[in-house]
Every structure is written in C-alpha cells, then in structure tokens.
Structure 1
Amino acid sequence: MPTLTKNKQAPTTGSKGRPRGGSSRLSLLLKVVPAALAALVGLVLLARWLRDVPAVAAFLSDYPGEYDLPQGAPVGFPAWLGWQHFLNAFFLLLIVRTGWLVRATKRPQGHWTRSNTGRFRTRNAPTKISLNLWLHLSLDALWVLNGIVFYVLLFATGQWMRIVPTSWEVFPNALSVAIQYASLAWPTENGWVNYNALQQLAYFVTVFVAAPLAIATGIRMSGAWPKDATRLNRVYPVELARAVHFPVMLYFVGFVIVHVTLVLASGALRNLNHMYAANDGDSWVGFWYFAGSLVVMAVGWVLARPLFIGPVASLTGKVTR
C-alpha cells in the first residue's frame, strides 16, 4: 500500500536548508525542560522549608496523611482487582493513542463503513469513518464493559470504602500528603490496609468523575447520538463535549504518569505485588506480572494499525484504503 502524506507542500526551510519545524520544537524543549526542572527544585526547597515552620510541623503531626476507614472495610486486594487494573491500563493506553491519532491525522490510511444489512441494518444511513476512529470506538465499548464489571465488583465486595472519601478529614490529610511528597519525604503508609488521603481523592476523581465524563462526552461526539433530537442537542451541544473530552484525556495521561512514578519510587516491589499479585510481600512475583503486562501493551500498540485492524473491522463493515 502506498504511503500517504498529510501535506504535499514541502516543509519550510531555513537559510541552510534545515526544516524550521524541527529546530523550533528543539528550541521550545530547551526552554521548557530547564524551566520545569527549576520549578521542581524550587517546589522541593519550598516544601522542605515549610516542614520546618512550627505551625506546619504541628499540622503534619495532627494530620499524618490518612484517616480511619469505615468499620468493615476490606483489607488487601482481591485477584479480580489486579485483572481490572491491567485491563483498564491496557484499554486506556490504546484509547489515548487512537484518540490522539483521530485528532491529529488529516489523511487516514483506511476507512470503515458500517454494514446496513441483516442484524446491522438501521434507519440511519452508514457513515464512513477512519479506521483509527473505528478502533477508538471499539476500545471505548470494551473499556465501558470492563468498567461496568469493575463498578459491580467494587460495591459488591466493599472495596469502594477504600477509594470513596467518608470523612472531611480527607482534605487536610491530602494537603499533608502533598507537602510530604513535595519535600521528597514519603508519608509512612501501607496501601494494603489504607490509601493515603491524596491517593484516595485521586482514585475517586478518576473512577467517579473523569471516567463518566469521558464516556458522556464520547457518546455525544459519536455517531450513536441522535442527530434529530433538537432540544437535547441544544441543551448538550457537541461543542461542549469536545471542549471537555480532550482535557479529560490529558487528565488520564497526567494521572498515569504521576501514578506510575510514585508506584516505582515509593517501594516498587511491594506496590507491584499489591497491584498485580494480590499479596503484601516483597517478592518479585508482582514485578514479573507487571513486566508481562508491559509486553502485552507493547504488542497491542504494534497491532493497532490499519494493516492488522482492517481484517477485524471488515467483519462488521466495508474497509477501504
């Protein structure tokens, strides 16, 4: 298959024939990276200074970073939570990748048109979409299905008590944890028994705010939304969905980066055992499960291309290149 270019116009070049786009990006990185590092150093120094202030030291003593969970809260992590964690990470990785490709690709390498016969027949005429968008929507459906299973198990087993705040003490404790993290002095904790307050707030927002927002805005932007619902479209315009959907994606990317960094920096083996091996030990079992999950994600990343997804998409529609 011939390679399609996004733009036939030759790139703008400088006086020595070098593309200006690459040099401008390099120049931006040379400015942003040192500034970001300087800001991080300043934040650490500020946090360390604050910890020596008597009032702040007393605050950290009164609010060490966590509060007691409700009576009957489960201890530890069941095996199903490890599988859910992997599947959510796997789907999110490919959803973000395909979503970015849908946003950035001007000339897709393939398109898909839904079949309008047999069990796929509907009153709405089929619309041609890119293969990237087809994969994005398909992964969304799997992610939502996995999320439904997650919600059911979360409330059926009482695990919700670990990520839903049940006391106003969560806020001062979360501030305390933020200061401790910023000063590079990790709070004393055991996630097997109880998350710290900042983790709890982050997980709550991710599960009960960001995920539903991603679904609600994604449905509004998809072809499944009724186009002839004038009043409903006026109340919930597609422009609003687009304005929210992309920042939610950025939130997920930022959450994953911070989450993985803290998992590896604050006791990697024990944390990976919690997440992947359902035990509270310091063995290498969780690490190897984690390494295997990375291999699966890498394979999924490679296979998420028109060459491989085209035959699958053709089972429910017509694929054109």
Structure 2
Amino acid sequence: MSTKTTTSKDSRWRPLIWILPASVILLGLAVLGAQWLRGMDGVQAWMERYPGATPLPEASPEGFPAWLGWQHFLNAFLMVLIIRTGWLVRTTARPKANWTRNNKGPIKTKRPPKKISMDLWLHYVLDVLWILNGVIFVILLIVSGRWVRVVPTSWEVFPNAASAALQYLSLNWPHEDSWVNYNSLQVLTYFVVIFIASPLAAITGLRMSNIWPEQAKRLNKAYPVELARAIHFPVMLFFVLFIVVHVTLVFTTGALQNLNYMYAAQNSASSWLGFWMFAASLVVMVAGWFLSRPIFTSPIANTFGRVSR
C-alpha cells in the first residue's frame, strides 16, 4: 500500500524532469533571438515609434493607495491557497477527510447532502472569499478612477506591448515609472488577469461546484461541465505562470522600489518598509499554507456540516 502511494505521489512531479530543462533551453533561445532582433535597423526604428507605453488620459491618478496594497496581499494570499487546494483536489485519490453539508445554512437545496473532500470544501470557501475580494477591488478601481491604469484606452497599446515584451525578453528592461503609468505589456496582462482570467475561473468553478442546478437540462446542455473542466485547469496554470513571472520581474526591476509601491504605498527606492511588509506577508502565507490542513480546518467546517475521516 505504501509503495503504491509513494509511486503515485512521485508521478505528480515526473513531468518536471523534462519540462524544466526544456523550458530553460527555450528561454535561452528566445533571449538570443530577441537580442538579435533588437540589433536590426528596422526593429530599432519601430521601437523608437513604440517605446513600450502609451500615455494615460489627462488627470489620471498616480501612485498606489493603501487599500490597493491590502487588496494585493489578500489576492496573493487567497490565490496561493486556492492553487494549493485545487491541485490537491485534482491529484489526491483518497482524501484524509471529507465534509457533508447539513443543509441548514442560507443556501438550501432539495438534493440530498453530497460528501466532498475537505480539500474541495476549503477550495470552495477560498473561492468565495477571493471573488468577494475581487468584486471589492473592481469597485474601488472604478470609484477611484484607477481603472484607466489597467484598461487599454488606445489601440497603440498592442504595438507598445510587443515592444515592451521584446525589451524584457532581450534582458534590456523598458524604461518605466509604475508609480505614474504601467507599460503596455503590464496593462494588457493586468487587464487579462482582472477582467478575463478571473471571471473565467469563477464561472467555470461555479459550473463544477455542487450548487450548480443539475436538473437544468437546457442550461447544462448549453454549458456542459466538460467545457468548464477544459477551461478551469488551464486558467489555473495561467495564474501560476503569471505569479512566477510577476514575482521575478518585481525583484529584477528594482525590488525595494516595487515593494514600496505595492506594500508601503510610497514612492521610494531606498526605504525598507515595503520589504519588511512583504516579508511579513510571506510569513502569513506560509502559516496559511500550514494551517490549511484538515486537522486545523475541521473545527470550522463542522459548523457548516459534518467532517468525517
């Protein structure tokens, strides 16, 4: 039994044996190709026309308010745990604990209670908190007028985004001041994350959840669960890729200044306040990762249903 379990766990990481080396080789070739392109006269002229950023509308707000820092932390905290629980749901054959709803809460259904794993229960809870945080974030973006920083307002954002991507890939970072304006590649990326990938994750997750009406035949035919599953997992991989690239660029394009932007809400390249706030957030994330086990989450889950092992 233990041998089979160990083999099953090892098989999860087996693809990394060839994925990681292949990724490093492809990345190296891409960097060399980008540097070769930047040496061409026509490409240099094109980059002078499209330096990598488009100007914002007049009177656009600058800086990073404190609420944006808190939203950023909560989003990162919840996303890390959502990815963890989602991966466990996908790869764990025999969960350590299960949960059954008591059908006495605000959401009641006529269907009999269905037993689900504690990992899936926690995944649902984190999803709800993440969606709530996202709705608040979008509302604050609109009310504060900061939506113009993450929503394209000109078609020139596309050639400028390509220019910024070429600059990043050639390891010659684009000149920018995120306190005032994101470069066009950042604008498009944040737009996709906020207004496309996040709603897709929520909508497909809802379709796969237990609260979806199973008896709605027309609705289920128009939106089959197989389609939701085919979209949900790639969206998770997109978020993982975004987090890896985002964190890498934060630390390679001026770590102290970027951390002060996001965590301390101050425009400083010398203060260490943002770094220590970031370090504290990492401690909270590690603690959340450790405490997200059934032995710690069961008392909470028992208030909404019954936990069984």
Structure-2 separation of matches of 1:86 and 1:160? 19
Residues 76, 193 of structure 1: 8 Å contact kept: yes
Map 1:32-181 → 2, pairs under 5 A:
32-117=19-104, 121-181=108-168
Alpha-carbon distance, 1:49 to partner? 1.2
CA distance in 2, matches of 1:127, 1:142: 22
Of 227, 232, 235, which residue of structure 2 is paired with 1:240? Answer: 227
1:218 and 2:218 aligned:
no
Which residues in structure 2 correspond to 1:21-32 (within 5 Å)? 31-32=18-19
Work out whether residues 115 and 121 of structure 1, in 8 Å CA contact, stay in contact via their aligned partners in 2.
no
| Distance (whole Å) between structure 1 residues aligned to residue 224 and residue 49 of structure 2 | 47
What letter matches 2:152 in structure 1?
A: P
What code does the residue aligned with 1:167 have?
S
Cα distance in 2, alignment partners of residues 275 and 304 from structure 1: 26
Unmatched tracts of structure 2, length 5 or more: none
Question: What amino acid is the match of 1:272?
Answer: L
Deviation at 1:140, TM superposition (A): 0.5
Q: How many residue pairs were aligned?
A: 308
Whether the aligned pair in 1 keeps the contact of 2:52 and 2:161 (CA below 8 Å) is yes
Q: Is the 8 A contact 1:69 1:194 kept in 2?
A: yes
**1:140 match: secondary structure:** helix
Q: TM-score, normalised on structure 2?
A: 0.95
Which of the numbers 173, 195, 210 marks the counterpart of 1:186?
173
2:194 to 178, 203, 207: 207
Question: Once the 2 structures are TM-superposed, how far is the Cα of residue 43 of structure 1 from its aligned partner?
Answer: 1.4
Q: Is structure 2 residue 279 aligned with structure 1 residue 291?
A: yes
Is structure 2 residue 268 aligned with structure 1 residue 255?
no
How far apart in 2 are the matches of 1:119 and 1:37? 50
Aligned counterpart, 1:5: none
Deviations 1:234-288 (A, max 9, x none): 0000000000000000000000000000010000000011110111102111101
SS in 2 for 1:74: coil
Report if aligned partners of 2:86, 2:123 keep a CA contact under 8 Å in 1: yes
Distance 2:5 2:73 in 1: 44
2-structure distance, mates of 1:176, 1:46 = 14
Q: Deviations over 1:280-308 (max 9, x none)?
A: 10211110110000000000000000100
Q: Secondary structure at the match of 2:206?
A: helix
Deviations 1:177-200 (A, max 9, x none): 111011100000000000000000
Corresponding residue SS for 1:168: coil
TM superposition shift of 1:44: 1.4
Name the SS of the counterpart of 1:200 in structure 2. helix
Aligned partner of 2:298 in structure 1 is 310
What is the one-letter code of the residue matched to 1:311? P
Cα displacement (A) at 1:72: 2.2
RMSD, aligned α-carbons? 2.1
Q: Distance in 2 between matches of 1:306 and 1:12?
A: 19
Mapped partners of 1:53, 1:220: distance in 2 = 49
The CA deviation at 1:126 is 1.2
Seq. identity, %: 58
Distance 1:206 1:112 in 2: 31
Q: Which structure 1 residue ranges, 4+ long, deviate > 6 Å from structure 2?
A: 23-26
Instruction: Provide the rounded CA distance (Å) in 2 between the counterparts of 1:118 and 1:33.
Output: 46
Cα–Cα, structure 1 residues 225 and 31, in superposed 2: closer, same or farther, change >3 Å? closer
Inter-partner Cα distance in structure 2 for 1:269 and 1:58:
33
Greater Rg, structure 1 or structure 2? 1
CA contact (8 A) 2:72 2:262 kept: yes
Contact 1:65 1:176 in 2 (8 A): yes
Residue type at the aligned position of 1:77: F
Structure 1 counterpart SS, 2:307: strand
Q: Distance in 2 between matches of 1:152 and 1:68?
A: 24
1:39 is displaced (CA, Å) by 2.0
